[in-house]
Structure 1
Amino acid sequence: MKTSSSIPWIDQEFENSVFDFERITSVSSEIPIAASCYLNSKILLNAYRNGVFPWSGPYQPILWWRPDPRMILQTNKIKVSNSLHKNIKQYLKNGLKISTDKCFREVIQACAEPRDTSQSTWITKDIVSAYEELNRIGYAHSIEVWTESKLVGGLYLVSIGKMVFGESMFFRKANVSKIALVALAKWLQKHGGKIIDCQQETNHLASMGASPVSSAQFMREMKPLVENPALPWTIEPVSEVLLK
């Protein structure tokens, strides 16, 4: 990630007002569109409604991004390979369970754990605190995967209207984060959620059906969805039933 001294700085004065993310255009996908020293639920919701999300490296301020192209997963194009299908059947046979918002903090903290040889994470204490606040007010959710009553994988996301913005996932057993994503996609299909914002292109997401689109196309598809009534996260939560 690169930074630039010319990017807008979001002052604390916007904490109780609305920063105009909409008017800011991306110079390059390698450069954030804005930076700030603080984070809260209000600025997060404003950002997501305008196709912007936070992502920072160690010792950086909060950096705000609107990448172009943008990786999205159309929920009706989710790919389940033969091997993953067999894996799902075996896990279900052995008692796999999926829940929604049962332990949001555990999920986001698991996602924050350093991966491979890296000792750093973009999911800082400030990020955790801000997204926990979003969870409390109904805009952030976790999908948990359980085997033998142990949390073995999952993901967390932001949801506004019928639009879902994927944030991060983790696994402690093979393929369980993929299983969480499949269950989420099937649930969204059932309830009118057409796309999942995957933010940035990865081979892992591409293998499951995600593809890059222009930022302009993403905004055209996202904007109407955030104006829809909220998805039924508490009334009819995501569960393993959708995988059977």
Structure 2
Amino acid sequence: MPVLPEPSPWVFPQPTDWDPEDDLVAMGGDLAPGSLLAAYAQGLFPMPTGGRRDPMGWFSPVRRGVLPLDGLVVSRSLRRSARHFEIRVDTAFEQVIDACGDRGRPDGWITPEVRAAYLALHDLGWVHSVEAWREDRLAGGLYGVSIGGVFAGESMFHRERDASKVALMGLVDLLRDEYADRRVLDVQWVTPHLATLGVVEIPRAAYLQKLRRALGAPLPAALDDAAR
């Protein structure tokens, strides 16, 4: 069972006050565990807006990317490839976030401050990694925030072909339990790559409605066990 952190001293704007045409909702605050949890529970997530001294941005995309749990597109070749990997949860979280934050990757946004914040939230049981291993080598993976029935994916990486896709397949399998109809797999924004895997866009209002319903669902068993 995840450990509740100290409440956030910050108050995020209510959805009725958000600009209906702007993904950026607020700026400032901090990345303390309580602040992060409060943000995700309201449909927000942080992302740096510039240099290290610039305030943190808090986003809620007007068009939100979500992956329906029954909509993952798995090709025959991907299904064959998946047989060569083993899925693990939270066995190498620090390695996963470091691989996702590799400064050699284009559009990298995982700063040392962001890394430290998610490591702290992981230690409390709220952030998890889903990993694809081959012969005891970490081949790819992803990580995200899990609150109730919401899994907010943050980033993914691969060192071998298809490894990140196989990790995503593993995550979907973990989420497809008796509460699957209430769960939400959030990926923030749709990219051309994610669209090929079945990710779709929904309006912000629809996402917030799904979020409220999902927050009342229990954690998936595999992630709850990993948090113990």
Would you call these one fold, judging by a TM-score over 0.5?
A: yes
Q: Could you tell me which residue of structure 2 aligns to residue 78 of structure 1?
A: 72
Output the TM-score relative to the length of structure 2.
0.87
The CA distance in 2 between the partners of 1:191 and 1:21, in whole Å, is 34
Output the TM-score relative to the length of structure 1.
0.81
The alpha-carbon deviation at position 172 of structure 1 amounts to 0.2
The alpha-carbon deviation at position 145 of structure 1 amounts to 1.3
Q: 1:175 to 1:131 in 2, by over 3 A?
A: same
1:213 aligns with 2:202: yes
1:100 aligns with 2:102: no
1:204 to 193, 214, 217: 193
Residues 114-172 of structure 1: per-residue CA shift (max 9 Å, x gap): 345x4x62111111111111111111000111112111110001000011101000000
The CA distance in 1 between the partners of 2:45 and 2:13, in whole Å, is 11
Q: Which secondary structure state, in structure 1, belongs to the residue aligned with residue 176 of structure 2?
A: helix
The alpha-carbon deviation at position 44 of structure 1 amounts to 0.6
2:19 to 26, 30, 50: 26
The CA distance in 2 between the partners of 1:195 and 1:56, in whole Å, is 24
Q: Which runs of 4+ in 1 moved over 4 A?
A: 234-237
Q: Could you tell me which residue of structure 1 aligns to residue 120 of structure 2?
A: 133
* Identical-residue share of aligned pairs (%): 31
Structure 2: runs of 5 or more not aligned: 1-6
1:42 aligns with 2:31: no
Structure 1: runs of 5 or more not aligned: 1-14, 238-244
1:164 aligns with 2:151: yes
Q: Which secondary structure state, in structure 2, belongs to the residue aligned with residue 33 of structure 1?
A: strand
2:9 to 5, 17, 23: 17
The alpha-carbon deviation at position 195 of structure 1 amounts to 2.3
Q: Could you tell me which residue of structure 2 aligns to residue 111 of structure 1?
A: 100
The CA distance in 2 between the partners of 1:16 and 1:48, in whole Å, is 12
Aligned residue pairs total 216
8 Å CA contact 2:118–2:127 kept in 1: the answer is: yes
Q: Could you tell me which residue of structure 2 aligns to residue 223 of structure 1?
A: 212
Q: Could you tell me which residue of structure 2 aligns to residue 180 of structure 1?
A: 167
The CA distance in 2 between the partners of 1:196 and 1:176, in whole Å, is 19
Residue identity matched to 1:41: P
The alpha-carbon deviation at position 16 of structure 1 amounts to 4.3
Residue identity matched to 1:161: G
Give 1 or 2 for the bigger CA radius of gyration. Answer: 1
